[in-house]
Amino acid sequence: MADVFGFDNPVKRRHHNWAKWDVADDELPMTIADMDLPTSPQIVQALYDKVASATYGYEDIPQEYYEAVQGWFTRHHRFTPPLEWMSFATGVIPALSSLIRTLTTVGDNVLMLTPVYNIFFNSAANNGRHPLASPLDYDSASHTYSINWADVEKKMALARTTMMVVCNPHNPSGLVPEPEDLAHIVRLARQYGVIVVSDEVHGDMLWDNTLDYTPILSLPEPLRGNVIELISPSKTFNCAATHACTVLIADPNLRAHAVRGFNNDEIAEPNLTAVPASIAAYRDSDEWYAVMLSYVRANIELVNDTLAREMPLITPVKMAATYLPWLDCTDLFAAHPGSPVSSVSPDYQSTEVEALDRPHTVSDEFTAFIRQTSGLLVNPGGEYFGNGATFIRMAVACPRHQVEDALARLKRSYDLWCEQH
């Protein structure tokens, strides 16, 4: 297929103040979840036009912005959220942290399914709440995750549990909850007086054309009252630094309460890029989106095939979504253990986590070894708690040759690890 959008050409990120690329010249970062692919030409044009307007004063969120969000959901997720459910915040995590402050009390439990995006822990812990982990069950034969319902219910039932954050689809496990899973979570939450926040930032990236994820507010009444849905074009369109998140809340009282919190926390006003980039993404970039999906899907297949062929002790988890392959190194560490201290996998699973103070795991030792021996940077699975201590995560929304380079580096380090351990 012709490379219409220039995905095979590296965008210049080294030495350009990108968080992910703040590494030595011979190192290759495959860590932070943004893309090394150019975003859609429509977004670029919208931002040029904005800059050319030479006026950068205070902005409102126009109706056109919310209509663009609505149109995207109608076209891609068979769901047409009413415009009045929507409000704006300057990012998914700023919104989540604000919701935690506004809707829960210091000392409350914020429940989450682990292993999970580590910043959820920070959002709770930095605000004096307890991140409470409910570990996903992992089937090491099929390499798939599922929800441990008995554990979820036990922890929801605790008087101090007032919020549950669901990552839908789930980073890093790639799990896409079924509608019935989400309905069960919401029913339990209603029963125990818990608010459910569904972070759907990865919702547009599913790898099977025949599947879709379930926007949580597409569940029927009465399963909407205690639910908040967070969406953003940031992952799908590689525009995280435009800082835009749409918050959907069906219940008018809950919405008013949440929006007061956003105002109080000063996260309700857009910067000059947020509105034009989001409209151009959601309304005008379907073609780019389709090509990006098939390009990144091929990258994921390349990772899976190469691991199976060349690094059989590392097995990718079966992921239905996200561009963040989650790689099970349990067999590698069983055959070639790390140092005795760090190979002890901490069990955070049933405790209230001191998120910012996690112990060293064998995944940290392995990722440091990879960096040292081949210059490749990947995330240690221990960052995400749950059973992550024997996993690593690699972001692959990048030019194909970069994935090839990453896999060649990983292979070098893998061989050396096997030789030396």
The amino acid that residue 390 corresponds to is T
Binding ligand PLP by CB under 6 A: which of 28, 93, 267, 292? 93
61 binds ligand PLP (CB under 6 A): no
CA 133/CA 78 separation, integer angstroms: 32
CA 174/CA 405 separation, integer angstroms: 24
CA 310/CA 315 separation, integer angstroms: 11
Helices and strands of the chain, counted as H and E runs: 12, 15
**C-beta of 86 vs 362, nearer to ligand PLP:** 86
220 burial type by CB count under 10 A (0-12 exposed, 13-18 middle, 19+ buried): exposed
Interaction mask 8-47, ligand PLP, x per CB under 6 A? -------------------------x--------------
**Both tokens of residue 57?**
């004063």
Quickly tell me which residue has 């309460």 as its tokens: 257
Q: To the nearest whole angstrom, how small is the minimum distance from the Cβ of residue 371 to ligand PLP?
A: 20
201 binds ligand PLP (CB under 6 A): yes
* Interacting residues of 10 by C-beta distance below 8 A, sequence separation 6+: 36, 399, 401, 402
Interaction mask 115-144, ligand PLP, x per CB under 6 A? --x---------------------------
Binding ligand PLP by CB under 6 A: which of 46, 152, 245, 317? 245
Quickly tell me which residue has 């799908």 as its tokens: 236
Q: To the nearest whole angstrom, how small is the minimum distance from the Cβ of residue 322 to ligand PLP?
A: 8
Q: To the nearest whole angstrom, how small is the minimum distance from the Cβ of residue 33 to ligand PLP?
A: 4
161 binds ligand PLP (CB under 6 A): no
232 binds ligand PLP (CB under 6 A): yes
379 binds ligand PLP (CB under 6 A): no
CB distance 385 to 366 below 8 Å: no
Scanning 22-30, 42-50, 86-94, 254-262 for contacts with ligand PLP by CB under 6 A, the matching segment is 86-94
* Four-CA torsion 376, 377, 381, 383, nearest 10 degrees: 160
Scanning 107-115, 133-141, 232-240, 257-265 for contacts with ligand PLP by CB under 6 A, the matching segment is 232-240
Scanning 88-96, 252-260, 275-283, 401-409 for contacts with ligand PLP by CB under 6 A, the matching segment is 88-96
Report the candidate in 282, 252, 301 with the shortest Cα–Cα distance to residue 87.
252
CB count within 10 Å of CB 262 equals: 22
Helical pair 252-264 and 92-103, crossing angle rounded to 10 deg = 110
Tell me which H or E stretch contains 249: strand 245-249
Scanning 68-76, 89-97, 126-134, 278-286 for contacts with ligand PLP by CB under 6 A, the matching segment is 89-97
Binding ligand PLP by CB under 6 A: which of 199, 204, 328, 383? 199
How many residues of this chain bind ligand PLP (CB under 6 A)? 13
- Reported residue count of the chain is 421
167 binds ligand PLP (CB under 6 A): yes
Q: Which of residues 315-374 bind ligand PLP (CB under 6 A)?
A: none
Chain positions contacting ligand PLP, by CB under 6 A: 33, 91-93, 117, 167, 171, 199, 201, 232, 234, 240, 245
